[in-house]
């Protein structure tokens, strides 16, 4: 209701774009394909910076980072029903996201959805049953060359009802690839391919408008494979749908390719979906690093099992681990956890000395 009050008094300008991102299951020359476990195991990419926030929310970050939507495989989840968790709340305070529910299909394991330009209109308090509208929000973020608000949101759906199966290598791979798909910028394909395989190049990503229909049509050179993503740009004032493809023609409208921006995320898939917070944290970190993101800003929101996250991440960074190092350690831990050879969390299993010291100090402070 507040959104419609706002736009009736002042119609927003510019665009909101929706992109379905895909890691193709087969090898294609112009893009990064869906990785196998061996790819992660052998990666020599360095882990990116990792910053832990004990307070605050993803949507309040001010560094221009790509913000993670803890999505349902059907974009928006219960936003138009009774849902009131992280994804639904984001769709309430940025209502233009709801438009994507009309035309974006159920996400497969090799797909993610990125939305650029959705403006925030509302403030709120609470979560789930305590969620409540708390007034107007004026979004002061800058706009890009296409008059899109500089808010980038990526929807990735975690493994549902994770249980013990999340420790099987098959599902570790599924989660790592899902996050990687969301965090990867395929327009930098040359750079990403150079990290783990030879060959491959990608032309400039552009779009050209058909003057009669206002639809941006695909235009591919005959020797060029099609894009693995489709983007829809919604003109906020005139409701024009535009499909973006490739073109090298003079006067075409090229995509505003993003700078190297970090990831803002948190406890993805760790609430109703039942994911292990320690495992999911590390999976997102290695995926962001492999996607050549410079940093991860992690909003832990007071989860007890993550109270030592900053110490663990700094220890890992100080030992200069690669993506492959972290992946192999996760695989070893998960195998032991699945086979009931350990009941420890990943952090305590990895650094028993650190956690033994913490337990000792806790006992000392609680002794009368």
- Residues that constitute the known binding site for substrate: 72, 86, 127
- 88 catalytically annotated: yes
Does the active-site annotation cover 96?
no
Exactly one of 19, 59, 88, 157 is catalytic; name it.
Answer: 88
Query: 3-state secondary structure string, the chain?
Result: CHHHHHHHHCCCCCEEEEEEEECCCCCCCCCCCCCCHHHHHCCCCECCEEEEECCCCHHHCCCCCEEEEEECCCCCCCCCCCCCCHHHHHHHHCHHHHHHHHCCCCCCCCEEEEEECCCCCEEEECCHHHCEEEEECCCCCCECCCCCECCEEEEEECCCCCHHHHHCHHHHHHHHHHHHHHHCCHHHHHHHHHHHCCCCCCCCCEEEECCCCCCEECCCCCCCCCCCCEEEEEECCCCCEEEECCCCCCCCEECCCCCCCCEEECCCCCCCCCCCHHHHHHHHHHHHHHCCCCEEEEECCCCHHHCCHHHHHHHHHHCCCEHHHHHHHHHHHHHHHHCCCCCCCHHHHHCHHHHHHHHHHHHHHHCC
Residue 122 pairs with which residues in a beta bridge?
A: 136
Structure tokens at 183: 């965090």
Residue 297's φ and ψ, nearest 5 degrees, are: -105, 115
108 is catalytic: no
Which residue is catalytic, options 69, 111, 208, 325? 69
Annotated binding site: which residue ranges? Answer: 72, 86, 127
Residue of 87, 175, 185, 208 marked catalytic: 87
Pairing mode, if any, of strands 241-244 and 253-254? unpaired
In the beta sheet, which residues pair with residue 152? 66, 116
Give the residue numbers annotated as catalytic, written as ranges: 69, 87-88
């Amino acid at each position: 209701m507040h959104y419609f009050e706002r736009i009736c008094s002042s119609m927003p300008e510019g665009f909101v774009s929706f992109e379905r991102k895909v890691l193709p299951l087969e090898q294609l020359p112009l893009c990064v394909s869906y990785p196998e476990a061996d790819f992660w195991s052998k990666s020599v990419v360095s882990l990116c910076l990792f910053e832990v926030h004990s307070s605050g929310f993803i949507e309040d970050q001010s560094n221009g980072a790509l913000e993670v939507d803890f999505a349902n495989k059907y974009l928006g989840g219960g936003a138009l029903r009774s849902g009131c968790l992280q994804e639904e709340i984001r769709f309430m305070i940025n209502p233009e996201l709801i438009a994507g529910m009309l035309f974006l299909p159920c996400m497969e394991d090799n797909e993610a959805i990125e939305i650029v330009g959705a403006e925030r209109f509302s403030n709120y308090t609470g979560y789930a049953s305590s969620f409540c509208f708390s007034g107007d929000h004026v979004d002061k973020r800058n706009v890009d060359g296409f008059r899109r608000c500089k808010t980038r949101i990526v929807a990735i759906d975690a493994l549902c009802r994770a249980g013990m199966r999340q420790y099987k290598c098959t599902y570790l791979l599924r989660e790592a690839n899902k996050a990687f798909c969301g965090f990867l910028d395929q327009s930098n394909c040359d750079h990403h391919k150079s990290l783990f395989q030879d060959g491959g190049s990608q032309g400039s990503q552009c779009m050209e408008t058909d003057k009669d229909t206002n639809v941006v049509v695909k235009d591919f050179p005959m020797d060029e494979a099609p894009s693995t993503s489709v983007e829809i740009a919604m003109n906020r004032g005139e409701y024009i749908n535009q499909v973006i493809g490739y073109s090298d023609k003079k006067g075409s409208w090229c995509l505003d390719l993003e700078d190297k921006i970090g990831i803002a995320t948190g406890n993805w898939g760790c609430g109703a979906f039942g994911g292990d917070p320690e495992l999911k944290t590390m999976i997102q970190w290695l995926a962001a690093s492999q996607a050549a993101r410079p940093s991860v800003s992690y909003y832990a929101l007071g989860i007890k099992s993550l109270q030592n996250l900053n110490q663990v991440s700094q220890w890992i960074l100080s030992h200069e681990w690669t993506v492959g190092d972290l992946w192999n350690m996760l695989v070893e831990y998960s195998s032991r956890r699945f086979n009931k050879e350990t009941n420890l969390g990943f952090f305590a299993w990895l650094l028993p000395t650190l956690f033994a010291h913490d337990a000792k100090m806790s006992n000392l402070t609680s002794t009368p």
